[in-house]
Amino acid sequence: MFTKRKNIPELMDDHNCDPTKLKRTFEQFASINKFFGASGFLCRMICKDVLAANASILEVCDIGCGGGDLLDLMLKSATNFGLKADITGIDSDQRSIAFCQSLYASSEVRFICDDLFSLAKRGQSFGYCVMSNVLHHFADEKISLVIDALESISDRGFLIADLPRSELAWIGYAIYSFLFLHGSFARIDGLRSIRRGFTKREFKLFANELCRRGYIVKTGFLFPGRLYLFCRKIDK
């Protein structure tokens, strides 16, 4: 059942889907990511890398920012580490951007409707780029193109975090979503996303390829439900 990735469409990707359920899904992303995503660890990892470079500004772009909760946490982490923040959220779905702009209207974070490949084509770049729970939306043959684009727009490094494709992850999320995720698309789409996710071995293969290109790469699994790959360019 989990041997290969499944190309299963997600309900919220339908632009004619129920707007009330969609808004509720965006709202639930924060609690889902807090419980399963180890978001705090990922934000601290990037902040520590900024400090290791003797820099004082965290410049980061979240590609596919969804409900915006990761960037809100990134902003708080930067403050805790004594860093100034220059933070941008990008999503190709205008519904996501509208939700973020409404929820974080007073925030210092910028939210822009755009996409990764357009940014790369225009030659835009950021200190760091983050892509959380987005890579699984791409077919296998597109993944190398996604990583190449991330590489081109990241001046210092980039972080990819996504869902582990396993029976344990699926069962764990099924129980959590049955208990807590109601009135939204989060339950069905989350279970479908896990089927579209990745194994530790697959993430390790991505890491090995980036190492061959001369990057410093960290990869691992964060309990209870997140794979990550942090790729940093070597200082010259």
SS3 155: strand
Q: Are 109 and 89 in contact (CB under 8 A)?
A: yes
Residue 86 CA, chain-centre distance (Å), reads: 18
- Is residue 214 assigned to a domain? yes
Which letter does DSSP use for residue 164 in this model? B
- Is residue 102 assigned to a domain? yes
Is the confidence at residue 187, as pLDDT, over 90?
yes
- Residue 6's DSSP bridge partners are none
Helices and strands in the chain, H and E counts: 9, 7
Q: What is the pTM of this model?
A: 0.96
- Is residue 178 assigned to a domain? no
Tell me the pLDDT tens digit for each residue of 75-130: 999 999 999 999 999 999 999 999 999 999 878 899 999 999 999 999 999 999 99
How many domains does the chain fold into? 1
For residue 154, the domain's CATH number is 3.40.50.150
Q: In the prediction, which pLDDT does 236 show? A: 56
- Is residue 5 assigned to a domain? no
Position 1 confidence tier, pLDDT thresholds 50, 70, 90: confident
As a whole number, mean pLDDT of residues 220-224 equals 93
- Is residue 189 assigned to a domain? no
**CB proximity list for 1: less than 8 A, separation 6 or greater:** 167
Q: Is the peptide bond before 224 cis (omega within 30 degrees of 0)?
A: yes
Tell me the pLDDT tens digit for each residue of 32-73: 999 998 999 999 999 999 999 999 999 999 999 999 999 999
Q: In the prediction, which pLDDT does 230 show? A: 97
- Is residue 10 assigned to a domain? no
Q: Determine what percent of the chain is predicted with pLDDT higher than 90.
A: 94
- Is residue 2 assigned to a domain? no
Domain span including residue 59: 19-164+199-232
Q: In the prediction, which pLDDT does 94 show? A: 97
- Is residue 13 assigned to a domain? no
